[in-house]
């Protein structure tokens, strides 16, 4: 009764959301600071009577605001129910049933699951031992997911290497920039210039809005139009559209929070290095760290016993590391104490 690909599927495992408020939660790269005050004003001003009506199916106002932020046309932008929805749409829109999806390994662990759900062949491209992407090994594929900065490594790839890869690749490259607001560089210019590049962004990290589920993609109008064709009619509810619009219009608030997180990232990196940890050079709102003289999984369990939850990815290249979200300065002091 159940489709065999679904029956075989190992579903995506989201990071734990503990109910205990005393837990220090550094496991899902959420932003420790609240979203723009304009978000609270938008929610307070909402008239529940307006919820009788369906929302704008194409989120026009929100997309216009995003387009003008990036100097794009509105037909180059689509918004979705988290970037997760848009990533799933890409697997459906850009790969033939007998095609191939490729992605870096390690990177966001949703990509292989999306391939499996669509029952499409997939090929992980291992990072080199220094966690650097080597694009020379990427086979011809319908779709390549390029996470930049990468998760869980926190590192950004060389912009010249990304450009050269995108220019030579025959399929669609989705550059997943969930963490780009915390980085020194981004690839929007490629999405505006090349016929095969889409850049994906999310409101879950820099805008402190993981709870509303909002992401967007910017790219060539023809590719964006293909995503529009197959999306659910009303993929974004009215509240999400209104909140997203308020947040995107308050760039100053988002930038201030990003600056605080980047400053904390620098400070904690220094402390960890002093304590003998190996810390990969982070361009994101999290750190990927290798503890000195102690097994990463043992340390993960120890932190848990201290009510500090970080992320551990067993097996392969990630087994000796922990991924730690950058919280407030106070939270990070608590984390350092627990170490």
Ligand X SMILES: Cc1ncc(COP(=O)(O)O)c(C=O)c1O
In the complex, the residues that contact ligand X under the rule CB under 6 A are 29, 82-84, 108, 147, 151, 176, 178, 202, 204, 210, 215
Which of helix, strand or coil describes residue 284?
coil
Q: Which is nearer to ligand X, 28 or 42 (CB)?
A: 28
CA distance 245 to 265: 28
Least spacing, CB of residue 147 vs ligand X, in Å: 5
Least spacing, CB of residue 162 vs ligand X, in Å: 15
Instruction: Give residues with Cβ within 8 angstroms of 131, minimum separation 6.
Output: 150, 153, 155, 280, 288, 317
Least spacing, CB of residue 37 vs ligand X, in Å: 22
How does DSSP classify residue 307? T
CA distance 79 to 86: 8
Q: Which is nearer to ligand X, 33 or 306 (CB)?
A: 33
Q: Which is nearer to ligand X, 106 or 215 (CB)?
A: 215
Q: Which is nearer to ligand X, 147 or 196 (CB)?
A: 147
Nearest residue to ligand X by CB is: 82
Strand pairing report for 100-105 and 121-126: parallel
Q: How far is CA 279 from the centre of its chain?
A: 20
Tokens of 75: 């037909």
Q: Which is nearer to ligand X, 107 or 196 (CB)?
A: 107
Q: Which is nearer to ligand X, 83 or 318 (CB)?
A: 83
Least spacing, CB of residue 86 vs ligand X, in Å: 8
Least spacing, CB of residue 160 vs ligand X, in Å: 22
Least spacing, CB of residue 109 vs ligand X, in Å: 9
Q: 218-222 long-range contacts, Cβ below 8 Å, gap at least 24?
A: 218/66, 218/67, 218/70, 218/72, 218/76, 218/77, 218/188, 218/191, 218/192, 219/76, 219/191, 220/76, 220/191, 220/194, 220/195, 220/196, 221/73, 221/75, 221/76, 222/195
């Amino acid at each position: 009764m159940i489709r065999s690909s679904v029956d075989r599927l190992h579903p995506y495992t989201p990071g734990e959301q503990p109910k205990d408020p005393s837990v220090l939660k550094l496991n899902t790269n959420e932003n420790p600071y609240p979203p723009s005050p304009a978000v609270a004003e938008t929610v307070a001003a909402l008239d529940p009577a307006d919820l009788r009506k369906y929302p704008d199916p194409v989120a026009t106002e929100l997309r216009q605001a995003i387009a003008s932020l990036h100097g794009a046309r509105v037909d180059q932008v689509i918004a979705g129910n988290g970037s997760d929805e848009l990533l799933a749409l890409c697997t459906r829109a850009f790969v033939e049933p007998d095609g191939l999806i490729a992605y870096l390994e390690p990177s966001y662990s949703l990509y292989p699951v999306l391939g499996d759900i669509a029952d499409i062949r997939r090929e992980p491209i291992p990072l080199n031992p220094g966690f650097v992407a080597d694009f020379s090994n990427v086979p011809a594929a319908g779709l390549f997911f390029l996470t930049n900065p990468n998760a869980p490594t926190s590192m950004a790839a060389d912009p010249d290497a990304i450009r050269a890869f995108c220019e030579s690749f025959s399929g669609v490259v989705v550059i997943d920039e969930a963490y780009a607001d915390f980085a020194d560089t981004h690839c929007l210019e490629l999405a505006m210039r090349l016929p095969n590049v889409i850049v994906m962004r999310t409101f879950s990290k820099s805008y402190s809005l993981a709870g509303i589920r909002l992401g967007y993609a910017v790219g060539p109008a023809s590719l964006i139009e293909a995503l529009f064709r197959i999306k659910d009619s009303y993929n974004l509810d009215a509240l999400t559209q209104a909140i997203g619009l308020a947040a995107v219009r308050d760039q100053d608030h988002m930038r201030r929070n990003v600056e605080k997180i980047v400053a904390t990232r620098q400070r904690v990196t220094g402390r960890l290095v002093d304590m003998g940890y190996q810390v990969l050079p982070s361009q994101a709102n999290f750190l990927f760290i290798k503890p000195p003289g102690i097994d990463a999984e043992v340390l993960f369990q120890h932190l848990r016993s201290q009510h500090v939850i970080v992320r551990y990815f067993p097996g392969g290249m990630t087994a000796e590391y922990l991924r730690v979200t950058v919280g407030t300065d106070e939270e990070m002091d608590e984390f350092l104490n627990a170490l």
